[in-house]
C-alpha cells in the first residue's frame, strides 16, 4: 500500500499549475484530495473548497469544511501562487519584479493555523 492511499490531503492552489498537478498525482495514488483555491478549476481531481489563503478567516473556514467532510487532515501541499497575467519573456528586464512561488509539503503533522503579514 502506498502512503497516499486513503490519506486526506489538502492542496492549495489546486485550480492550476503545480497545485493541480500534485492534486492529480495524489488522487491517482488513492488519496482523498481537497482542492483549495480562490477559483473553481475547469476540471481537476478532488473536492473543491473555495479559499483565499491571504485571509485567516477564509483559511479557518476551509479547514473546518475539510474536517467536517473528512474528519482529519493527513497532509498539506501549500502550492497557492499569484494569479496574474503572464509577462512576455521579451519584456522582462533584470529590474522587473518576479513573483516567487514556494511550495510547502507537510505530511503526518498536526494542522497549525498561523496568522502573518
Closest among 48, 12, 3, 68 to 30, alpha carbons compared: 3
Domains and CATH numbers, the chain: 8-82+97-107 (3.40.50.720)
User: Long-range pairs for 61-64 at CB < 8 Å and ≥24 separation?
Assistant: 62/10, 62/36, 63/10, 63/111, 63/113
Gap between the Cα atoms of 53 and 81, Å rounded: 10
pLDDT at 82: 63
Mean pLDDT, contiguous 10-residue spans, the chain (117 residues): 80 86 91 93 88 89 95 89 55 54 49 39
* Chain position carrying cell 502550492: 79
Gap between the Cα atoms of 15 and 41, Å rounded: 4
Give the distance, in angstroms, between the CA of residue 58 and the centroid of all CA atoms in the same chain: 13
Q: Is 75 helix (H, G, I), strand (E, B) or coil?
A: strand
Amino acid at each position: 500500500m502506498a502512503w497516499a492511499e486513503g490519506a486526506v490531503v489538502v492542496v492549495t492552489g489546486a485550480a492550476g499549475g503545480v497545485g493541480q498537478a500534485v492534486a492529480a498525482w495524489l488522487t491517482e495514488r488513492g488519496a482523498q484530495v481537497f482542492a483549495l483555491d480562490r477559483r473553481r478549476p475547469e476540471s481537476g481531481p478532488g473536492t473543491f473548497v473555495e479559499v483565499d489563503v491571504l485571509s485567516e478567516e477564509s483559511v479557518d473556514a476551509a479547514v473546518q469544511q475539510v474536517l467536517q467532510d473528512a474528519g482529519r487532515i493527513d497532509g498539506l501541499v501549500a502550492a497557492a501562487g499569484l494569479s496574474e497575467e503572464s509577462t512576455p519573456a521579451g519584456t522582462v528586464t533584470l529590474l522587473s519584479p518576479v513573483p516567487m512561488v514556494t511550495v510547502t509539503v507537510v505530511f503526518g503533522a498536526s494542522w497549525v493555523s498561523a496568522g502573518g503579514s
